[in-house]
Amino acid sequence: MSDSRPIGVFDSGIGGLTVVKALRELLPNEAIFYLGDTARVPYGNKSAETVERYAIELARMLMAENAKLIVVACNTVSSVAIPKLRASFSVPVIGVIEPGAQAAIARTQNRHVGVIGTRATIRSGAYENALRALNVHVRVTSRACPLLVPLIEEGWLNDKLTDNIILRYLEPLISEEIDTLVLGCTHYPLLAGAIERAFGSKVKLVDSAQNCASAVKELLDQRSLRAPAGNPGNLEVALTDAPDNFLRVAREALQLEIGEVQLREVIHSAPAL
């Protein structure tokens, strides 16, 4: 049995492309439909209720594309909206928190893990919970880094100003002697070089992209949802606002070739009162 419908992937902006890159490498036969909510990025400073509402709207748009599976390529959404998404849609929904936590537990030797992410992700405690569920002895030190997503969307990946901001955010983690750092935002792998400059080689960086892609592969196999072996595979990208820096950053930082970007309007649902 096989299924040639696309895998639907979404994020607030460009960050989820780090997951798309891993999916393309691991599952080259699959069609991927990527939706970036560039009209409303960043999500990370918004309330859990708002993020949940946005997530439902985007997942509905992916279902309209006939998605066979929804990949939430956003830690902010994954940390607050997975139960609601799973309850609202009939297709499987995979987030990025569990895969990131598993990768961190596999890497840490001193059992002291740092986590950086958006305010909403850190406030939710989702990584602490996922890490402790895997190993009760792990010590977790978390830090919200709200300025990093706008810098990445702007394409300031190798810039003195970005380096200084990173240092200011990471200094407490450096002095706490973590040995593993979870990049708890799918945008942050784009700053891996700058973060390595801040830490030196002592700290291992973990991002969920690779592990999330493996979880997707496993689920497709379990449910007989893999695309036919001869399928050429492709990537379609839609955004909710004009691309601006999107294409340049995708090309330069991720070496992802994206053809024509489609524009989609969000069909809003009423906020819960």
Binding positions for ligand DGL, rule: CB under 6 A: 11-13, 15, 41-44, 74-76, 118, 121, 149, 185-187
What is the closest distance, in whole angstroms, from the C-beta atom of residue 80 to ligand DGL in the complex? 10
Q: Which residues contact 178 (CB under 8 A, 6 or more apart)?
A: 110, 112, 113, 114, 141, 203
Nearer to ligand DGL, 12 or 108 (CB): 12
- The verdict on whether 212 is a catalytic residue reads no
- Helices (H), ranges, the chain: 17-26, 48-64, 75-88, 97-107, 119-124, 126-134, 148-153, 160-175, 192-199, 208-222, 246-254
What is the closest distance, in whole angstroms, from the C-beta atom of residue 78 to ligand DGL in the complex? 7
What is the closest distance, in whole angstroms, from the C-beta atom of residue 60 to ligand DGL in the complex? 19
- The verdict on whether 185 is a catalytic residue reads yes
The catalytic position among 35, 74, 104, 209 is 74
CA dist 43 and 125 (Å) reads 16
Token match 């902006």: residue? Answer: 13
Nearer to ligand DGL, 6 or 15 (CB): 15
Nearer to ligand DGL, 45 or 234 (CB): 45
The catalytic position among 104, 185, 225, 235 is 185
Token match 């690779």: residue? Answer: 210
Q: Where in the sequence numbering do the catalytic residues fall?
A: 74, 185
